[in-house]
Chain A
């Protein structure tokens, strides 16, 4: 497909430790179109961050091991690239916003230099030109360029995250991986950062993979949504599909677990139990044990992916909401 910027096909990633093999990503397929914002939603340990790091190939190997699959950017398989070629892609074509702005910046470098460094590495320009562009980037994310020469500790959490975003966008990447970009921030600052990401996306046409566990954030800025459970995508569709017609019992459970601002229900409806141990995943559906709709066939083998309406895919034998 010509309009797919990124295609992930059957990606399998494991972590090999002395004790066990952790099945972190188990056959993930995902397409990202140009200019699209796609939300990856799931709990801690579902494999969201591993997928993002696989795309940049920044997983530490070992313990991580790619056991299969392809990641295709603009028609070229990233898995076959040399380390040298990868360095030209990272920060240039694909860049990443890390979760914690407090640790993502170098504490002993001025923030302006940290942005200019990325620009200088990927473009044949003079140092002063790189610095001038870094100043532009700071202004774009709403930080006055007079603060170019300040250090990260002089910035607040929200400002630091803007610096990280400025750095990630400095080379006009085609794909931005945002790993929980607002989780460490207060709601009011989160609102500022989301607003900014939204307008940047509109102005620059960047594709974004937004990793989050917050369905509210997804509702805010995502065009499509992939729900991940135990290393595989259990439901995929447009934001309308997922929010209006959540069909995998896990997705339904996630929505029910949220305290709603406008409901008066006396009790929350949590998903019972816990995520399965990723060193010892069940043979059948990984959600089977916690699933209110589990039937006989569920534990026998991995369910196939069904297209329940055009563009809306569910990996479940028995899809549909319970209301």
Chain B
């Protein structure tokens, strides 16, 4: 059985005045129906670009994307339209991703109108069903985004993404613009929808506690590359890459008694323009040595746990 989505050696470089910016550099993963892949990393590590490249919102530099075993890397126009029905996105900022001049029902209706398969009456009833599914009361049907709070706006974004009954949704920081109490409501909604419809999510975020909660597998990205990939619990209980370790230790935990010792990283993320061939984390890594200047490859340290660090055995000995 083939996976719902497979990404092979995906690369996306941007041309800049200073050279090629390696936004996504050789990323591979597979995602099964009903599962969630969490993608975490700092701002600028390429996680949003990865999501957009998979959906063909950006052209791919090289690599392949398969959907249900079919190669969809270079679709023609009608193929692209068909793919997009199956693959949708929820954007980060519900304040700027909605058209301020479209009412709630118009916004939710738009994908259905573009699809052109349903009659006007069917579309209207479908909109009501969608609003009910995501928990927006019918009285908001004719409201405009500025009249709604962030949580409701994000629900509209979710309803739009669901409207064409996709199987795969890229969730690009869907809750980071929301307050914690509202964030929890939206996460629960997304989990319910996944259970009902067997949706596969690629959940892009920098919030590690959210990602642990929602993901089956987690991929940690650093400067366009995947440095570690493992099942969620395994990654949190047994992080192997020094970057993952530092990232996990940096999470502020709402507990005053169990303060963990922080690994404070030196410096900041380096430039992704024309990076050197070796480990990109080298400049901030306390374990760095000469061998790190060689290109790193993902190594399967235990079943399904991949790490791209030539010194991981040495580091994790104690």
Which A positions have Cβ atoms within 8 angstroms of B? 43-44, 156-159, 186-192, 194-195, 213-220, 239-240, 243-244, 253-261, 267-272, 274
* Residue B183, interface by CB 8 Å: yes
Bound complex: CA A260 to CA B252 (Å): 11
| Contacting residues, chain A, for B262 (C-beta < 8 A) | 191, 195
- Taking a contact as CB atoms under 8 Å apart, the answer to whether B179 and A213 are in contact is yes
Specify which of A158, A190, A271 is in contact with B250 (CB 8 Å cutoff).
A190
CB distance from A192 to the nearest CB of B (A): 6
The residue of chain B having its C-beta at the shortest distance from the C-beta of A189 within the complex is B268
Knowing A268-B184, A271-B181, the reply to whether A187 touches B209 (Cβ < 8 A) is no
Q: Which chain A positions have C-beta within 8 A of B208?
A: 187, 261
- A186, B42: Cβ atoms closer than 8 Å: yes
B136 contacts A by Cβ under 8 Å: no
Q: Is B102 an interface residue (CB 8 A)?
A: no
| Contact among B180, B191, B251 for A187, CB-based, below 8 A | B251
B27 within 8 A of A: no
- State A214–B181 Cα separation when bound (angstroms): 12
Interface of A, helix, strand, loop or mixed by DSSP: helix
**10 additional A-B residue pairs with CB within 8 Å, beyond A187-B247, A192-B264, A268-B213:** A187-B206, A187-B250, A190-B250, A190-B252, A191-B252, A195-B264, A240-B256, A259-B213, A272-B185, A274-B149
Q: Could you tell me the distance in whole angstroms from the C-beta of B234 to the nearest C-beta in chain A? A: 14
Question: Distance (Å) between the CB of A158 and the closest chain B CB?
Answer: 6
Name the CB-closest residue of A to B43: A186
Report if B118 contacts A (CB, 8 A).
Answer: no
Selected from B42, B252, B255, B256, the residue in CB contact (under 8 A) with A194 is B252
Q: Provide the bound-state CA to CA distance between A253 and B180, in Å.
A: 10
Which residue of chain B has its CB nearest to the CB of A215?
A: B254
B83 lies within 8 A of chain A by Cβ: no
29 pairs, CB–CB < 8 Å, chain A vs chain B: A43-B180, A189-B268, A190-B250, A190-B252, A191-B262, A191-B264, A192-B264, A214-B252, A215-B254, A216-B251, A217-B252, A218-B254, A219-B252, A219-B253, A219-B254, A220-B252, A220-B259, A240-B256, A257-B180, A257-B181, A258-B180, A258-B254, A259-B184, A259-B209, A261-B236, A267-B191, A270-B182, A271-B184, A272-B185
